[in-house]
Amino acid sequence: MSEKTFLALFSDVNPAAEAIAQLREMGMKDEQMQVISGIPFTAPILGRPHPRTNVPRMAMGGALVGFLLAMFFTIGTPNLYPVYVGGQPLIPVPPSVIATFELTMLGMLLATFLGVFLDSRFPSYRPMEYVPAISDGKIGVLFRCTEEESSRWMDALQKLGAESVSPVEAVQL
């Protein structure tokens, strides 16, 4: 029982969303479907589950590292090397607040960039599905199923408004 990948092309987002909902009702799991389009549609528009991401956790971790680094620079360094200047406190508060804010934000921004970069799996060296019609504004629903079930799914998608349903192979770009 080998699995094959099929592509259903839709000209509009509404029939594609209805087809995804219908496929789910017929028993296809979300892990078996993938939507590709030239326009970035959000998951709720297509009735898809919200994608899980680690970016917020990485951003918070970066902010914490930046904050700890700022605390070391603003509190630790003056205590390690005390220099008293004519009546001024050893740790001046206004400049310390500014430096702490800036280093916290710098840590968060760097971690967010790294998180988005890693979460998008960029660069990808594995074969990817690409269809020129997607660049022309079509919406594609890729789905995997066994060869025995393929005619059932293909007929259902044709009835739901797919312009074409055909088998595809991943190719190296």
Predicted confidence band at 2 (pLDDT cuts at 50, 70, 90)?
confident
- Predicted confidence at residue 129, as pLDDT, reads 60
- Predicted confidence at residue 106, as pLDDT, reads 98
Amino acid residing at 48: R
CA nearest to 5, candidates 144, 106, 98: 144
Distance, CA of 77 to CA of 91 (rounded, Å): 9
Ordered strands of the 33-37 beta sheet: 33-37, 139-146, 3-10, 164-168
Q: Which residue has the higher pLDDT, 105 or 88?
A: 105
Q: Which of 18-32, 77-91, 95-109 has the highest mean pLDDT?
A: 95-109
Contacts of 127 (CB under 8 A, 6+ apart): 170, 171, 172, 173
Distance, CA of 127 to CA of 167 (rounded, Å): 16
Please indicate, yes or no, whether the overall pTM of this predicted structure exceeds 0.75.
Answer: no
Bridge partners of residue 5, in order along the sequence:
144, 168
Helical spans, DSSP H, in 1-92: 13-25, 43-46, 55-71, 77-80
Would you say residue 171 has pLDDT above 60? no
Average pLDDT value over all residues in the chain? 85
Predicted confidence band at 165 (pLDDT cuts at 50, 70, 90)?
confident
Q: Which CATH number fits domain 3-49+126-168: 3.40.50.10490, 3.40.640.10, 3.30.70.120, 3.50.50.60?
A: 3.30.70.120
Structure confidence by residue, pLDDT tens digits, 13-59: 888 888 888 888 888 888 888 888 888 887 777 777 777 889 999 99
- Predicted confidence at residue 56, as pLDDT, reads 95
- Predicted confidence at residue 32, as pLDDT, reads 81
How is residue 88 written in tokens? 């001024």
Predicted confidence band at 130 (pLDDT cuts at 50, 70, 90)?
low
Structure confidence by residue, pLDDT tens digits, 55-73: 999 999 999 999 999 999 9
Distance, CA of 137 to CA of 11 (rounded, Å): 7
User: 79, exposed or middle or buried, with CB in 10 Å at 0-12, 13-18, 19+?
Assistant: exposed
Share of the chain above pLDDT 70, in %: 94
CA nearest to 58, candidates 122, 101, 124, 117: 117
Domains of the chain: which residue ranges? 3-49+126-168, 55-119
